[in-house]
Amino acid sequence: MRRSGSISLPVLVVLSAICYIYYTTLFIFIDGWLGLKTSPGLMNALIFTATVCMCVFNYAAAILRDPGSIPPSFVPDIEDAQTPIHEIKRKGGDLRYCQKCSLFKPPRAHHCRVCRRCVLRMDHHCIWINNCVGHANYKVFLVFVTYAVISCTHSLVLLVGNVTYVAQKDEQQIEGSLKTAYIISGVLLVPLTVALSILLGWHIYLILHNKTTIEYHEGVRAMWLAEKVGNVYSNPYDLGPYENLTSVLGPSIFTWVCPTSGHMGSGLWFRTARDRTNSIMTSR
């Protein structure tokens, strides 16, 4: 079983990119355009530093935090009325059991071949954090991507502003070292901003439908099979956009951009649409 928190080459690449972007943004883009001693320059430097610090903090948390492991003593109680759903194997109708881990799988848990263990509410294995994205670190991963998008967008705006400002000056040509910094920064920032924005948009879509990446692909197949026999497939964990959102980000909007995860529960049980319907009927 591979432990989370180990440093790998992709992690070092990410940290190096963060350091380079931070240095060039502060000491080339802001200082060369607005000046670090002016009010606009100082304000931009403080805002950018704050978002980068939050980005690094959440990145470290995503790497170091265990995504969620199945307790060795876990056994699904099929007679428990409080457990609304028990996922079964695709063939045979038995409860899901991992032969490699020798453990029963709770709902939404999957085995990761890279980590060589089962992960609660597994979304995917991410090489850039050298860890699985699962129940316990999904929110910090999402918050990291959010701050990364904000930081990259801010840096890209400052890069364009600095290049425009320098081009309008009466200098005959930009210094070679400065031109190299512009090129490297552009090559880094443009694809990073686009890729991270797409990734963030994808996970916002998943959250609003209460799905993981794995469940999305499984749902596509399940929908196709259901339509083939004339049935309609629906995601059992979809509680509606707002409840789906708060189940991941937390009940308070003020904690949505903080790396808190105490509201997410144990990861062994999840509310379903049937629970929501039953609670509405009971309240009536």
What are the residues whose beta carbons fall under 8 Å from the beta carbon of 64, sequence distance 6 or more?
4, 5
126 is catalytic: yes
> HEC states along the chain?
CCCCCCCCHHHHHHHHHHHHHHHHHHHHHHHHHCCCCCHHHHHHHHHHHHHHHHHHHHHHHHHHCCCCECCCCCCCCCCCCCCCCCCECCCCCCECEECCCCEECCCCCEEECCCCEEECCCCEEECCCCEEECCCCHHHHHHHHHHHHHHHHHHHHHHHHHHHHHHHCCCCCCCHHHHHHHHHHHHHHHHHHHHHHHHHHHHHHHHHCCCCHHHHHHHHHHHHHHHHCCCCCCCCCCCCHHHHHHHHHCCCHHHCCCCCCHHHCCCCCCCCHHHHHHHHHHHC
Question: CA-CA distances (angstroms) from residue 164 to 160, 161, 169, 174?
Answer: 6, 5, 9, 12
Choose the catalytic residue: 55, 101, 118, 126. 126
Kindly report the number of other CB atoms within 10 A of residue 236's CB atom: 17
Q: How far apart are CA 201 and CA 194, in angstroms?
A: 11
Q: Which residues are catalytic?
A: 126
